Chains A and B, each alone.
Chain A
């Protein structure tokens, strides 16, 4: 007998990838998201126009206003003759970074609070009341107060752009973790009574390891879903703040701001709204699909089916 071909031991992550690959939407989403990231972060290295450049020659500037797409300006120009393609790239850098970082902050906070509340009975009451408290807070006024109090000191010490970025990311993060916390807590409460957890506890596994090894991997899927939705709402919250004049300085393009700037011209130049709109929707959609695929891939019960 020839030796049986022993299947190579498969790593967990290879399995995850295999499962992920089988989800067509997720694959497309991933491709779109990666290309968006390339567009906004690598694009400016190739397309080197300054997004805030206004032609100092008045006659020239008037001539280059509100141009339709052309070779010189692939996405046209805005009402001041600024190149829309360059603005889309620059704006995307900010919007995507804000979305990702704010999402990370809110997910980390939400998961921590949710797991703590679900796992430790003593903490449940106080932590969930805290969550209720945050849920009851009117979000926008709270953001406005935070921005008003901290913008000046931060922009003085870190420069207007970095300062505002940190402030906005932090402000969005700490005001959007509550849903994630609630979902995670519910999942943890259910998991805690499952047999494998009881078994682990019976052999004396300490809480820290219980959470990291047994609980967290099993609540990954709801966290993923909350995270992907979080990116979308962070991008949109940033737009709202920019609109109220509390976000980045007004000449600093972000997708949200481009969208709001374009609204005034929606009838004459619909492209002005469509481009940032498409970019935001694509980001949100693709991230949602990636999240969907990841959730399936990370759930061992679905894997291989």
Chain B
């Protein structure tokens, strides 16, 4: 109940701020700039954040996440819970009650049929639904009456807020998409670019990969919202250009993802036309240690597989020393400024899942050196590189091409060199590195290097699938076409067992405890994953645009209906 009250309070606060001048369409036009252009409005056909977020202005889910990661109802009439009986005792179903009287932007009523249809649309066996993960474990969706829908799961699902929750799983209008099922989905251009929605805006003009023109939805459920009559979402350019357009020239009111270097941030702030807003989610820039041998001398198909453990990184003391030599606060200062903070955790948020692990935040070069000595790595031939049994401590360190990552590489190489470790740097085009092509030797999954750096996060607020990625069988290997999430090839039966426990646990506190333990097993207890920086989202808005609440758990435009012009 407490959360509910808090939420209500928050909702009221937002509702009242602009209420004084509230009248739909009173504030004219608002201009939003996305440095990646929008290509489709239907979130089910694109995994691009920009498409999902701009789509969320029009298409809404039953419930969304607020800025703290709590679920709040949008089209649903109250949140289902075990107490009110809408979530089954055994967590095998969830029943949603819909708000009565909601209309689509074309004036027809929104009913349970639309919800049932949406599930059918995304779960269609022939359709490549980009958000299928949100419908994982859903056995069926049935209509109870016009305003009640029941989602049945094939097995107990302790986090039932997946389907129809968040901007990645909005409800589509059955009447409009009826002929767009399965393989026909991408051919419905009109529906995919100008969907009828229940959100605060509707599309009036859509130019693929360029600009989307929207206007206030005349049938929006709150008659006083949105305050803006029209919205223009322009796409293209880069992060620096987008930030400049808001902060310095004032051409735009809001710019998405303005990730630029800290000095430029400071300079743009001086422009005085706008403000940067940042919020921290779960995106962590990390160094992954390869637990298997990537040596090119091994035959293809055995490189970086569990057949050959890594010659020195399989020793935890070496991994720990490498982590101790890094000054994370300096990395933040050089690379991210306001948009980052040092972290030692793989799961840095939400707060209940974040472990109190802060050991790594202070650099300890001497300790690291001592640890390597203890592990038997000494510079016996005096060439500045430590060795042991004729094997040199020499590391290939790869990442994608990105100015911040190259700065990080140079800094970390410097520290590791000081430690007596030889480092060869490699940077790979992001399209190749993250491309996942099993034929390329340069993908991050193949991991033909000793250590590699990238950032990853998890979707939504439940870290369960994320920590479950590190079980033995999820390691990428030739048999899995080099697909898999356990990039480090970490394999610990105790970890796998604990993940098994997590899947069976339903009490939030116990789950949080297990997740913290799993996080610690990967980080401070084994240094398999060496987290560096918790990267926030950084966006910019004009000083005349009010009502912005940056949300990392859902679409950034989640509360666009509350935006208003400060006069």
Residues of A within 8 A of B (CB): 52-54, 56, 58, 61-62, 65-66, 79-80, 82, 148, 152-153, 156, 160, 243-246, 249-251, 261, 264-265, 267-268
Within B51-79, which residues are at the interface with A (CB < 8 Å)?
A: none
CA of A153 to CA of B413 in the docked complex: distance in angstroms? 23
A244 close to B334 (CB less than 8 A): no
CA of A305 to CA of B106 in the docked complex: distance in angstroms? 84
A61 and chain B: residue at smallest CB distance: B330
Known: A56-B415, A152-B296, A156-B296. A80 touches B327 (CB 8 A): no
List A contacts of B424 (CB < 8 A).
Answer: 160, 249
A80 close to B267 (CB less than 8 A): no
CA of A61 to CA of B264 in the docked complex: distance in angstroms? 19
B410 close to A80 (CB less than 8 A): yes
Q: Closest approach, in angstroms, between the C-beta of B411 and any C-beta of chain A? A: 6
A249 close to B425 (CB less than 8 A): yes
List B contacts of A249 (CB < 8 A).
Answer: 424-427
Contacts A/B (CB < 8 Å), 27 sampled: A52-B410, A54-B414, A56-B365, A56-B415, A58-B329, A58-B330, A62-B333, A65-B334, A80-B410, A82-B410, A148-B440, A148-B441, A152-B441, A245-B400, A245-B401, A250-B406, A250-B410, A250-B426, A250-B427, A251-B406, A251-B410, A251-B413, A251-B425, A261-B406, A265-B261, A268-B264, A268-B267
Interface string of B227-256 (1 = CB under 8 A from A): 000000000000010000000000000000
Q: Closest approach, in angstroms, between the C-beta of A92 and any C-beta of chain B? A: 19
Total inter-chain residue pairs, C-beta < 8 Å: 75
List A contacts of B418 (CB < 8 A).
Answer: 56
Q: Closest approach, in angstroms, between the C-beta of A176 and any C-beta of chain B? A: 22
User: Is B7's beta carbon under 8 Å from chain A?
Assistant: no
Interface residues on B, range: 20 to 34
Q: Other CB < 8 Å A-B pairs besides A250-B409, A250-B426, 7 of them?
A: A52-B410, A62-B333, A79-B261, A80-B411, A156-B296, A249-B424, A251-B406
Residues of B within 8 A of A (CB): 240, 261, 263-264, 267, 296, 327, 329-330, 333-334, 363, 365, 400-401, 403, 406-407, 409-411, 413-415, 418, 424-429, 440-442
Q: Closest approach, in angstroms, between the C-beta of B301 and any C-beta of chain A? A: 16
CA of A287 to CA of B27 in the docked complex: distance in angstroms? 61
List B contacts of A245 (CB < 8 A).
Answer: 400-401, 426-429
CA of A160 to CA of B425 in the docked complex: distance in angstroms? 10
List B contacts of A156 (CB < 8 A).
Answer: 296
A79 close to B334 (CB less than 8 A): yes
Q: Closest approach, in angstroms, between the C-beta of A249 and any C-beta of chain B? A: 5
A267 close to B267 (CB less than 8 A): yes
B401 close to A251 (CB less than 8 A): no
Q: Closest approach, in angstroms, between the C-beta of B56 and any C-beta of chain A? A: 31
List B contacts of A53 (CB < 8 A).
Answer: 414
A267 close to B264 (CB less than 8 A): yes
Q: Closest approach, in angstroms, between the C-beta of A67 and any C-beta of chain B? A: 13
List A contacts of B400 (CB < 8 A).
Answer: 245
Known: A79-B334, A245-B401, A251-B425. A54 touches B411 (CB 8 A): yes
A79 and chain B: residue at smallest CB distance: B407
Q: Closest approach, in angstroms, between the C-beta of B199 and any C-beta of chain A? A: 36
Partner of B330, one of A62, A148, A153: A62
CA of A222 to CA of B330 in the docked complex: distance in angstroms? 54
A66 and chain B: residue at smallest CB distance: B263
A261 close to B403 (CB less than 8 A): yes
List B contacts of A61 (CB < 8 A).
Answer: 330
A266 and chain B: residue at smallest CB distance: B240
Determine the main DSSP class of B at the interface with A.
helix
List B contacts of A243 (CB < 8 A).
Answer: 401
Known: A251-B410, A264-B403, A268-B263. A58 touches B425 (CB 8 A): no
Q: Closest approach, in angstroms, between the C-beta of B537 and any C-beta of chain A? A: 20
List A contacts of B415 (CB < 8 A).
Answer: 56
Q: Closest approach, in angstroms, between the C-beta of B324 and any C-beta of chain A? A: 14
Known: A62-B330, A62-B333, A268-B264. A56 touches B401 (CB 8 A): no
List A contacts of B363 (CB < 8 A).
Answer: 58
List A contacts of B411 (CB < 8 A).
Answer: 54, 80
List A contacts of B240 (CB < 8 A).
Answer: 264
List B contacts of A52 (CB < 8 A).
Answer: 410
Q: Closest approach, in angstroms, between the C-beta of B564 and any C-beta of chain A? A: 32
B413 and chain A: residue at smallest CB distance: A251
List A contacts of B334 (CB < 8 A).
Answer: 65, 79-80
CA of A264 to CA of B407 in the docked complex: distance in angstroms? 12
B365 and chain A: residue at smallest CB distance: A56
B331 and chain A: residue at smallest CB distance: A58
A246 and chain B: residue at smallest CB distance: B429
A269 and chain B: residue at smallest CB distance: B263
Q: Closest approach, in angstroms, between the C-beta of B222 and any C-beta of chain A? A: 42
A251 close to B409 (CB less than 8 A): yes
CA of A264 to CA of B411 in the docked complex: distance in angstroms? 18
Q: Closest approach, in angstroms, between the C-beta of B396 and any C-beta of chain A? A: 9
Q: Closest approach, in angstroms, between the C-beta of B265 and any C-beta of chain A? A: 11
Chain A to chain B: the 8 pairs with minimum beta-carbon distance, closest first: A245-B401, A245-B427, A54-B414, A250-B427, A58-B330, A249-B425, A250-B406, A245-B429
Q: Closest approach, in angstroms, between the C-beta of B339 and any C-beta of chain A? A: 15
List B contacts of A66 (CB < 8 A).
Answer: 263
List B contacts of A58 (CB < 8 A).
Answer: 327, 329-330, 363
CA of A207 to CA of B400 in the docked complex: distance in angstroms? 54
B418 and chain A: residue at smallest CB distance: A56
Q: Closest approach, in angstroms, between the C-beta of B360 and any C-beta of chain A? A: 15
List B contacts of A261 (CB < 8 A).
Answer: 403, 406
CA of A249 to CA of B413 in the docked complex: distance in angstroms? 12
List B contacts of A268 (CB < 8 A).
Answer: 263-264, 267
List A contacts of B426 (CB < 8 A).
Answer: 245, 249-250
List A contacts of B329 (CB < 8 A).
Answer: 58
A52 and chain B: residue at smallest CB distance: B410
Q: Closest approach, in angstroms, between the C-beta of A163 and any C-beta of chain B? A: 11
CA of A80 to CA of B296 in the docked complex: distance in angstroms? 32
List A contacts of B414 (CB < 8 A).
Answer: 53-54, 56
CA of A156 to CA of B330 in the docked complex: distance in angstroms? 33
Q: Closest approach, in angstroms, between the C-beta of A51 and any C-beta of chain B? A: 11
Q: Closest approach, in angstroms, between the C-beta of B524 and any C-beta of chain A? A: 22
CA of A152 to CA of B428 in the docked complex: distance in angstroms? 13
B424 and chain A: residue at smallest CB distance: A160
List A contacts of B401 (CB < 8 A).
Answer: 243-245, 250
Q: Closest approach, in angstroms, between the C-beta of B325 and any C-beta of chain A? A: 10
CA of A61 to CA of B365 in the docked complex: distance in angstroms? 16
Q: Closest approach, in angstroms, between the C-beta of A1 and any C-beta of chain B? A: 79
Which has the most chain B C-beta neighbours within 10 Å: A152, A156, A250?
A250
Known: A54-B411, A265-B261. A250 touches B425 (CB 8 A): yes
CA of A194 to CA of B413 in the docked complex: distance in angstroms? 63
CA of A152 to CA of B424 in the docked complex: distance in angstroms? 13
CA of A52 to CA of B415 in the docked complex: distance in angstroms? 12
List A contacts of B410 (CB < 8 A).
Answer: 52, 54, 80, 82, 250-251
CA of A246 to CA of B403 in the docked complex: distance in angstroms? 15
B406 close to A244 (CB less than 8 A): no
CA of A255 to CA of B261 in the docked complex: distance in angstroms? 22
A149 and chain B: residue at smallest CB distance: B441
